[in-house]
Amino acid sequence: MDDCKPIDTPMAINTKLDIDESGIKVDQTLYRSMIGSLLYLCASRPDIMFSVCLCARIQADPRECHLSTVKRILRYLKYTPSIGLWYPKGARFELLGYSDSDFAGCRVDRKSTSEGCYLLGRSLVSWSSKNQNCVSLSTAEAEYIAAGSVQTLLDYGVKLSRVPLLCDNESAVKLANNPVQHSRTKHIDIRHHFIRDSKRRHPIAKRGN
């Protein structure tokens, strides 16, 4: 890939990876080693995390089209060798979280993908992008589960009086702040409802575009 043509995006917007049983098989060991290296790089390049995690779901039976998608990520890295995280000196110690989710984005099992990140002052300190454990039946449910899966600094022994969590789905915000469990949301797994118990310490608000 040293002489590959650089490209300005890690993945096309309309890319939907699924199992391609009719495609040409590729070396599984090679594919997994490429994914492993890219996952290691995600520690400092959150801009490729979603694309890499999407490709990682096909490791059991990779095909030529999947390998081409991974190579596109490498072409993007060649185009952006200087991009990384910036941690400015003197930033205030204030934590702010964001959560988001698609709806049934995985073509294989129709599970949604939860995304979340935390900014400490102006510095990005935590981020994630992963498949949800259950199949969501609505956009509101997918967003609600995503909001419940983000981390706080309590996981690292740091206690703050207020940690805002911003979500762009109004229904999910109302669900998190409403103590009444409506009939159409009773199917949501109980373990996701802990976010309701944390709302006083970690208020949830709707964020704009």
Domain ranges for the chain = 1-84, 95-206
Across 44-73, average pLDDT: 90
Instruction: Give the integer Cα–Cα distance in Å for 23 and 127.
Output: 33
Q: How far is CA 130 from the centre of its chain?
A: 5
**pLDDT at position 77, please?**
95
Closest to 10 in 3D by CA, of 56, 92, 69:
69
C-alpha pair distances (Å), 121 with each of 32, 61, 94, 161, 163: 36, 42, 5, 15, 12
Q: Which of the pair, 65 or 137, is modelled with greater confidence?
A: 65
Query: What mean pLDDT is predicted for residues 141-170?
Result: 69
Confidence (pLDDT) at 187: 56
- Mean pLDDT of all residues belonging to the chain: 77
- Residue of 165 and 7 predicted with greater confidence: 7
Give the CATH fold of the 95-206 domain.
Nucleotidyltransferase; domain 5 (3.30.420)
Report the alpha-carbon distance of residue 109 to residue 107 in Å, rounded.
Answer: 6
pLDDT value of position 172: 77
The pLDDT assigned to 35 comes to 94
Residue 39 pLDDT class (50, 70, 90 cuts) = very high
3-class secondary-structure state, position 100: strand
CB 164 within 8 Å of CB 203: yes
In this predicted structure, the answer to whether residue 32 has a pLDDT above a threshold of 90 is yes
Q: pLDDT value at position 80?
A: 93
Q: How many percent of the chain have pLDDT more than 70?
A: 76
| SS3 (DSSP) at 190 | helix
pLDDT reported for residue 43? 83
Using pLDDT thresholds of 50, 70 and 90, give the confidence band for residue 209: low
End-to-end C-alpha distance for the chain, whole angstroms:
37
Answer yes or no: is pLDDT of 181 > 60: no
Which of the two residues, 194 and 163, has the higher pLDDT score? Answer: 163
The answer to whether 66 and 97 have CB atoms below 8 angstroms apart is no
CA gap 71, 49 in Å, rounded: 15
Most confident of 35-39, 44-48, 200-204: 35-39
pLDDT at 148: 67
Considering only residues 200 and 30, tell me which one the structure prediction assigns the higher pLDDT: 30
Cα separation, 165 vs 148, whole angstroms = 10
The DSSP call for residue 157 is T
Statement: residue 150 has pLDDT above 70: no
H-type alpha helices, 43-182: 49-56, 64-79, 139-149, 170-177
Q: Which of 18-22, 90-94, 103-107, 156-160 comes out lowest in average pLDDT?
A: 156-160
